[in-house]
Amino acid sequence: MKVPIYLDNHATTPVDPRVAEALLPFFTETFGNPASRNHAFGWAAATAVENARKQVAKLINSRAKEIVFTSGATESDNLAIKGVAHRYRERGDHIVTLPTEHKAVLDSVKRLEQEGFRVTYMRVRPDGLVDVDDLKHAITEKSLLVSIMAANNEIGVLQPLTEIGRLCHERGVLFHTDAAQAAGKIPLDVEAMQIDLLSIAGHKMYGPKGVGALYVRQRGMPVELAPLLDGGGHEGGLRSGTLNVPGIVGLGKACEVCRELMPEESRRLAALRDRLKDGLLAALEGIHINGSLEHRLPNNLNVSFRGVELAALMTDLNDIALSSGSACTSATPEPSYVLAALGVPEELAHTPLRFGLGRFNTEEEVDYTIGRVVETVKRLREMPSLEEPLPAAPRFRQA
């Protein structure tokens, strides 16, 4: 076993060797521009892009022509949310989302609020799940879009996509889901779940950074979007710009590998996650697991430790790559806005560790992590608090 150990697979994943092998030739050998329609170099690149489009579509049960390639899930979220709002503004001005969404969604709807759109931020239950009955009452005649992520990037909670999709279609509202954390880890079926728009990021699923995709429904009632970028009319006019062929090939291959490995990989990662959880709970008191354990990504564990300063904990665990899941400065850690929305007490919302297990993690690494976390938490709890008053300085008479 080598250290440091990487357990931050929600932030990004290593590129799978099979993916790297597939995309490398498109940097130096098959380097053509797929928009070049007059020679073999362009034709080969265009064929590779369309093959990748099919691979992405197969992962989520869509049609290839419903896949739009982007630079990542952030762009996909922006295109989906702003694209719907600007295209259908004459029909309504209302969007529904959750306060626990990724910033790519929250900042997009905040920008729309500045343009005069109205946004409802649905409350979530203490386990992180949305109440579908509450959602039903939040949707109005002026609602254009419901945007609720498939799996939360901090606590891994899985939202009831099928129920949400059914409700949205009954009410004539479009349904977008940010599936950056979920794609390749749990089964997603845009038809069965009645999803209209779905965002994917390559680097969250063992593909390259800087590439993603947006599924845009074309069957039944096709979704129309106002583009964010103009110039060249690439990707059906929805995303102009020369295509990132190596990245797209890598994304396609990553989707293919994930689809093949998903059943067994999910079981293995869930077993590792439970081994980690049980090991921590057996050795430590004052632990709070954030979010639903029943409805959760198989590779996620988010834990708060009572009586421990997060900065000290993260510093001492420098041989394990982890995330706090909160916005931290070097001086003062801010509480996680996700945990705050769940109603987690401030003391615990300040001290979460997000464990993101991945394809290449082992039992040995998990056992090492348990030992290191337990050892560190116990030691930090035994140290005097920095908030306790310091003893008075001795007084000396001047000579």
* pLDDT, average across residues 14-33: 97
Mean pLDDT of 117-143: 97
CATH architecture, domain defined by 17-257: 3-Layer(aba) Sandwich (3.40)
Q: In the 8-state DSSP scheme, what is residue 268?
A: H
pLDDT tens digits for range 66-97 = 999 999 999 999 999 999 999 999 999 999 99
pLDDT band for 394, please (50, 70, 90 cuts): very low
Q: In this predicted structure, what is the pLDDT of residue 146?
A: 98
Q: Where are the domains of the chain?
A: 5-9+262-382, 17-257
**DSSP code, position 130:** B
Task: Please count the helices (runs of H) and the strands (runs of E) in the chain.
Answer: 12, 12
pLDDT of residue 233: 86
The model's pLDDT over 352-367, given as tens digits with 9 standing for 90+, comes to 999 999 999 999 999 9
Judged against a pLDDT cut of 60, whether residue 393 lies above it is answered with no
Is the confidence at residue 176, as pLDDT, over 90? Answer: yes
Q: CB neighbours of 254 closer than 8 A, spacing ≥ 6?
A: 16, 19, 184, 202, 205, 206, 207
**Model pLDDT, residue 325:** 73
**Residue 164 pLDDT level (bands cut at 50, 70, 90):** very high
Instruction: Give pLDDT tens digits for 296-331.
Output: 999 999 999 999 998 999 999 999 999 987 444 334
Whole-number Å distance between alpha carbons of 140 and 137: 8
State the catalytic residue, choosing from 168, 255, 258, 328: 328
| For range 53-69, the mean pLDDT | 98
Kindly state the tokens that stand for 54: 């099919």
Residue range 5-9+262-382 forms a domain whose CATH class is alpha beta
Specify the pLDDT at position 307. 92
- Dihedral, CA atoms, 144, 53, 157, 273, nearest 10 degrees? 180
Write down the residue that tokens 């409805």 correspond to: 295
Whole-number pLDDT of residue 385: 62
**Residue 231 confidence (pLDDT) above 80:** yes
Sign of CA dihedral 28, 30, 34, 38: positive
Instruction: State the Cα–Cα distance between residues 370 and 362, nearest whole angstrom.
Output: 13
The answer on pLDDT for 390 being more than 70 is no
pLDDT, average across residues 195-219: 98
Give pLDDT, residue 327.
Answer: 42
Which pLDDT score is estimated for 328? Answer: 40
pLDDT, position 237:
84
- Residue bearing tokens 């709002």: 85
Angle between helices 245-283 and 40-60 (to 10 degrees): 30
Residue 347 has a pLDDT of 86
One-letter amino acid of 376: T
136 has pLDDT over 80: yes
Token pair of 346 as six digits: 């401030």
168 is an active site residue: no
| Triad 262, 267, 273: Cα angle to 5° | 120
* Among 191, 211, 193, 214, residue whose Cα is nearest residue 202: 211
Q: Which of 52-56, 245-249, 297-301, 395-399 has the lowest mean pLDDT?
A: 395-399
User: For the chain, how are helix, strand and coil distributed in percent, rounded to 5?
Assistant: 40, 15, 45
* Least reliable range by pLDDT among 100-114, 217-231, 273-287: 217-231
Here the tokens at position 382 are 């035994």
**Hey, do 5-9+262-382 and 17-257 end up sharing a CATH topology, with the first three levels equal?**
no
* Cis previous bond, 187, omega within 30: no
